[in-house]
Chain A
Amino acid sequence: MLASVVTAVTSGIEGTLVQVEVDVAPGLPVCRIVGLPDSALTEARERVRSALRNAGFSYPLARITVNLAPAERRKRGSAYDLAIAAGILAASGQVRIARPAALLGELSLGGRLLPVPGLLPLVATLVAAGYRRVVVPAEDAGTAAWVEGAEVLPAVDLAEAVGYLRPVRRAGAGRTASPGRTGPLEPPRLSPAPSGAEPGGPEPADLAEVAGQAAGRRALEIALAGGHHLLLTGSPGAGKTLLARTIPALLPPLTADEAREVALVRSAAGLPAAPNRAPFRAPHHTTSYAALIGGGPSLRPGLVSLAHAGVLFLDELAEFPRDVLDALRQPLEDGTVEVARAHGVTRFPARLQLVAAMNPCLCGWEGDPERPCRCPAGGPERYRRRVSGPLLDRIDLRVRLERVPADRVLVPRGAEASAPVAVRIARARAWARDRNGGLPNARAAGAGLIAEAADLAGWIAGRIEGSRQEPATSRGVVRLLRVARTIADLAGRERIGEAEVLEAIALRSDPFPGGTG
């Protein structure tokens, strides 16, 4: 007898439907799994056999063939255990599938359902393909509920799982362990955590702790309000890292769509759903390429994807390996990252806001008013070239921080705390989203901005030329206007004016001025 159930396979966060076909035929009692399984999947035979017996079902003494279609797609992991077991039960006549549902879950030998890493993209694939009813391990139910339109059926064990497939009336026949939990689950309501920082990230800080640094504070506020990438440069002790540590508390909460995307990426990475806070990731420069960009043996999303809809803070930018910095260009450009594998290319979302910090040179003291630089001639320029022009070009805000003298650090001067700044940022973001159809200013359409500032066009071109930065290309003007728009939003101004454009030019200045000659 032949039976077929549905499950899914993912590559990155894009999934494909998988049909699990089970044929139980008379013959020697063997079980074969075909359709490019990996070793964890081949071992499913043993788990399924024990789980069936220990859950009170019988394991058919017959020739069992399990086919995972499409056959040319490589399948990995243990998420198919439940589907295989259900298929065997259906093919051997022990369970009649009256209400089809897709099945996801690993089985323990005792028949319990174990959670599956990367469940969310699997559920999303199934729902997108029209399989709204999805049986998932009870522990994963909260994660799965992030998928819009999914009817999540949580199960603690095999018996409860197949209960969802049986005809409705026979509720009593199923060994339902917890009848109260059979309905679809609401997405969990998560209260904001005290901080959006991941455990192990840098210690969060409040802007009240930052002495001086008016220019740095201002640039950070504009960056976070508009989603513009930001580069902080300065000598050691200038406060680059301290400023970055204030970011988690300044980021506005995620929108519903963003929260869903973040949960999806987190699930693909095997992480639990997070509180509704914008991600803030601060990897060390020794972090591996696979961990940062994505990939590795199990094809996990990297930190650039885990920072999706949030901030990726790269301290000591020039110390990151060249291939990592080159790989960053794509996420900064189009908001996704591609991980190339033997069997094709996987795409992860990675619409991150980059905040980077770096020293002006290897020893760190180039341009410092007090301490001499110890680098050889041409050393500072060589050090800066580690960050390529194309990457630097994508960073609209650059600010050189001055080392604050010790006497001013120790005397607090009533610096503004984070809370009011966060309010301004959230308000500016909300205005920008309303105007740009949900997008932050950093991604606002150029045409609208150019039209808005049409009467300033000649003046802007003159100012750009005058600032000796770069030729006034239309791309450059749009970048400038996006920043100017954010500055206007922060001030609550309807129109971009000369003052906003001037400040935007100032913020895009040479990050290492006057270093040579």
Chain B
Amino acid sequence: MSAERAAWIALAAVPGVGPATHARLVAAFGSATAVLRAGPADPARLSAVVGPAGVARLRDGLREATRDPGAPLHAVEAQGGWAITPLERIYPSALFAIADPPPVLYGLGDPAALGTAGVAIVGTRRPTPRARWLAARIARAVVHHGACVVSGLALGIDAEAHRTAIEAGGRTTAFIGGGFPDGWPRANGPLAAAMIAGGGAVAGELAPGVPATLGTFPRRNRLIAAVARVTVVVEAPEGSGALITARHALEQGRPVLVAVEPAAGRHGAGGAALLAGSPALPLGEPEEVVRWIGSVRRAGRAAAATAIDPQLGPVESSIAAALKPGPAGMDRIIAATRRPAGEVAGALVLLQARGLARPVGPLWVAAGALLDAGFDPDGAHRRAVSSRGDP
């Protein structure tokens, strides 16, 4: 088995062997070990599967793989990662639903996380502050439900979803378009490390060090759609990669939800088109996403994510109330709280330090527990007053 597994991974690592060729070769020869043993020496048999051109393309690589079949796996493990194949039970069974499941998944972190119930949160790399707010609210709802947040570790909505999930104490997994450890934007390096540390995983179908190409990003989107029970498109302009994920999900018969923002205009044009021309459904309130997840076997970690009720001062409390309906600029917050600009700015520093608000561009956006539907700013203030005993 171990020899077959090494041969399987070695065969997948041969340049020119994709999921389909891998599957046909293994089927024709009986096993990956047999492909490596017999293939290079028997061009006629190889040709019957991949054609004469295929033989010319693959023969050198196969010979190379035959010499040391364990090398690719060793290379993965040397990087601190793992490689899993459909031969193992840990391989996410959801991937068998797609036409060309990857023969090998390479990754970092906990491979078991890939198989847990998840929600895909995808969207533009350049979100508006409001879209970040929406993505964060959805991610928190998913985590509180005990499910896993799945995305692509890209900038923008992807990063927002992953980061919020970690902050809420949840698990989150990503399928990346290149081979680790360079398969994500450099700015997301710390985020990837946090995902792995938080019990999640970062996986992809390219071997470590293999760079992403234009085609690999749309292809990995099929994996995101496959492992997620439901896919949520948060903000997608025309031509966004998030729409490809949504299309894969629809083809696989999975529900697709679009977080509707009537005011988004061009930012949300792709999402609006998706709603108009496909079975995708609008997502009203972010918290409604949990109705589509179904029952979840709660892992210990996610269950622990109960919010600690923060205690807020009077100005903080009224700012929190002002941020609850959505991101707001200073002028709006000042108008809502009726406090001087300096006092509001100071209270925002405190809220930020508590992890309840953060600046995004010119706006302030709710964060942490303030994103939860059940959070009550007034109550937080009342608790503060009663615990201190002063009005």
A interface residues (Cβ-Cβ under 8 A, vs B): 212-215, 217-218, 234-235, 238, 360, 366-370, 372-373, 377-378, 400-404, 408, 463, 466-468, 487, 499, 502-503, 505-507, 509-510, 513-517
Q: How far is the CA of A72 from the CA of B168 in the complex (A)?
A: 75
Q: How far is the CA of A516 from the CA of B132 in the complex (A)?
A: 12
State whether B265 touches A370 (Cβ < 8 A). Answer: yes
Contact among B128, B159, B331, B341 for A517, CB-based, below 8 A = B159
State whether B361 touches A360 (Cβ < 8 A). Answer: yes
**Does B330 sit at the interface, judged by CB under 8 A?**
yes
Q: Which of the 9-residue segments B59-67, B101-109, B299-307, B352-360 touches chain A?
A: B352-360
Cβ distance B241 to chain A, nearest Cβ, rounded Å: 13
In this complex, what residue of A is CB-closest to B364? Answer: A513
**Does B363 sit at the interface, judged by CB under 8 A?**
yes
Supposing A218-B342, A377-B125, A517-B188 touch, asked if A238 and B349 sit within 8 A by C-beta, the answer is no
Contacts of B350 in A (CB 8 A): 502
**Does B148 sit at the interface, judged by CB under 8 A?**
no
User: Could you list 16 examples of A-B contacts with CB < 8 Å?
Assistant: A214-B330, A215-B334, A218-B341, A367-B360, A367-B362, A369-B361, A400-B359, A400-B362, A402-B329, A402-B363, A506-B345, A506-B349, A513-B360, A514-B358, A514-B359, A517-B155
Supposing A214-B341, A514-B359 touch, asked if A467 and B352 sit within 8 A by C-beta, the answer is yes
Q: How far is the CA of A401 from the CA of B343 in the complex (A)?
A: 17
Cβ distance A216 to chain B, nearest Cβ, rounded Å: 8
State whether A212 touches B163 (Cβ < 8 A). Answer: no
State whether B341 touches A372 (Cβ < 8 A). Answer: no
The 6 closest A-B pairs by CB, nearest first: A367-B361, A502-B346, A466-B353, A514-B360, A513-B359, A506-B345
Chain B residues touching A, range: 35 or more
Q: How far is the CA of A513 from the CA of B363 in the complex (A)?
A: 9
Q: How far is the CA of A213 from the CA of B191 in the complex (A)?
A: 34
State whether A467 touches B349 (Cβ < 8 A). Answer: yes
State whether B126 touches A369 (Cβ < 8 A). Answer: no
Q: How far is the CA of A215 from the CA of B348 in the complex (A)?
A: 12
Contacts of A238 in B (CB 8 A): 362
State whether B267 touches A372 (Cβ < 8 A). Answer: yes
State whether B155 touches A212 (Cβ < 8 A). Answer: no
Cβ distance A232 to chain B, nearest Cβ, rounded Å: 11
Contact among B125, B159, B330, B347 for A402, CB-based, below 8 A = B330
State whether B132 touches A514 (Cβ < 8 A). Answer: yes
Contacts of A503 in B (CB 8 A): 342-343, 345-346, 349
State whether A372 touches B353 (Cβ < 8 A). Answer: no
State whether B349 touches A367 (Cβ < 8 A). Answer: no
State whether A487 touches B342 (Cβ < 8 A). Answer: yes
Q: How far is the CA of A467 from the CA of B329 in the complex (A)?
A: 19
Contacts of B45 in A (CB 8 A): none
Cβ distance B3 to chain A, nearest Cβ, rounded Å: 43
Contact among B132, B346, B348 for A499, CB-based, below 8 A = B346
Supposing A369-B128, A503-B342, A517-B188 touch, asked if A214 and B349 sit within 8 A by C-beta, the answer is no
Contacts of B129 in A (CB 8 A): 367, 369, 514
Q: How far is the CA of A510 from the CA of B342 in the complex (A)?
A: 17
Supposing A215-B345, A466-B353 touch, asked if A372 and B126 sit within 8 A by C-beta, the answer is yes
Known interface pairs A214-B331, A218-B345, A503-B346; 19 further A-B residue pairs with C-beta atoms within 8 A, sorted by A's residue number: A213-B331, A218-B340, A218-B341, A235-B362, A369-B363, A372-B267, A373-B126, A402-B331, A468-B352, A468-B353, A487-B342, A499-B343, A506-B345, A510-B359, A514-B129, A514-B365, A515-B361, A517-B159, A517-B191
State whether A516 touches B155 (Cβ < 8 A). Answer: yes
**Does B74 sit at the interface, judged by CB under 8 A?**
no
Cβ distance B265 to chain A, nearest Cβ, rounded Å: 7
State whether B342 touches A517 (Cβ < 8 A). Answer: no
Q: How far is the CA of A366 from the CA of B361 in the complex (A)?
A: 7
Contact among B160, B334, B361 for A214, CB-based, below 8 A = B334
Cβ distance A12 to chain B, nearest Cβ, rounded Å: 42
Type the 1/0 row for B248-288, where 1 means its CB is closer than 8 Å to any CB of A: 00000000000000000111000000000000000000000
Contacts of B347 in A (CB 8 A): 502
Which secondary structure dominates chain A's binding surface?
A: loop
Contacts of B69 in A (CB 8 A): none
**Does B219 sit at the interface, judged by CB under 8 A?**
no
Contacts of A215 in B (CB 8 A): 330-331, 334, 341, 345
Q: How far is the CA of A138 from the CA of B361 in the complex (A)?
A: 58
Cβ distance A430 to chain B, nearest Cβ, rounded Å: 21
Q: How far is the CA of A503 from the CA of B340 in the complex (A)?
A: 11
Contact among B349, B359, B363, B365 for A505, CB-based, below 8 A = B349
In this complex, what residue of B is CB-closest to A516? Answer: B187
State whether B331 touches A400 (Cβ < 8 A). Answer: no
Cβ distance B317 to chain A, nearest Cβ, rounded Å: 16
Contacts of B215 in A (CB 8 A): none
**Does B177 sit at the interface, judged by CB under 8 A?**
no
In this complex, what residue of B is CB-closest to A466? Answer: B353
In this complex, what residue of B is CB-closest to A218? Answer: B341
Q: How far is the CA of A238 from the CA of B188 in the complex (A)?
A: 30
Q: How far is the CA of A210 from the CA of B358 in the complex (A)?
A: 26
State whether A404 touches B331 (Cβ < 8 A). Answer: yes
Q: How far is the CA of A403 from the CA of B329 in the complex (A)?
A: 9
**Does B382 sit at the interface, judged by CB under 8 A?**
no
State whether A514 touches B361 (Cβ < 8 A). Answer: yes
Q: How far is the CA of A468 from the CA of B353 in the complex (A)?
A: 8
State whether A234 touches B187 (Cβ < 8 A). Answer: no
Contacts of B353 in A (CB 8 A): 463, 466-468
**Does B239 sit at the interface, judged by CB under 8 A?**
no
Q: How far is the CA of A235 from the CA of B345 in the complex (A)?
A: 20
Contacts of B327 in A (CB 8 A): 369
Contacts of B188 in A (CB 8 A): 517
Contacts of A463 in B (CB 8 A): 349, 353
**Does B130 sit at the interface, judged by CB under 8 A?**
yes
**Does B185 sit at the interface, judged by CB under 8 A?**
yes
Q: How far is the CA of A360 from the CA of B359 in the complex (A)?
A: 14
Contacts of A372 in B (CB 8 A): 126, 128, 237, 266-267
Type the 1/0 row for B104-148, where 1 means its CB is closer than 8 Å to any CB of A: 000000000000000000000110111010000000000000000
Cβ distance B299 to chain A, nearest Cβ, rounded Å: 26
Cβ distance B343 to chain A, nearest Cβ, rounded Å: 7
Cβ distance B200 to chain A, nearest Cβ, rounded Å: 16
In the complex, which residues 335-390 of chain B have their Cβ closer than 8 Å to any Cβ of chain A? Answer: 340-343, 345-350, 352-353, 358-363, 365
In the complex, which residues 181-218 of chain B have their Cβ closer than 8 Å to any Cβ of chain A? Answer: 185, 187-188, 191
Cβ distance B293 to chain A, nearest Cβ, rounded Å: 26
Contacts of B155 in A (CB 8 A): 377, 516-517
In this complex, what residue of B is CB-closest to A234? Answer: B362
Q: How far is the CA of A235 from the CA of B237 in the complex (A)?
A: 21
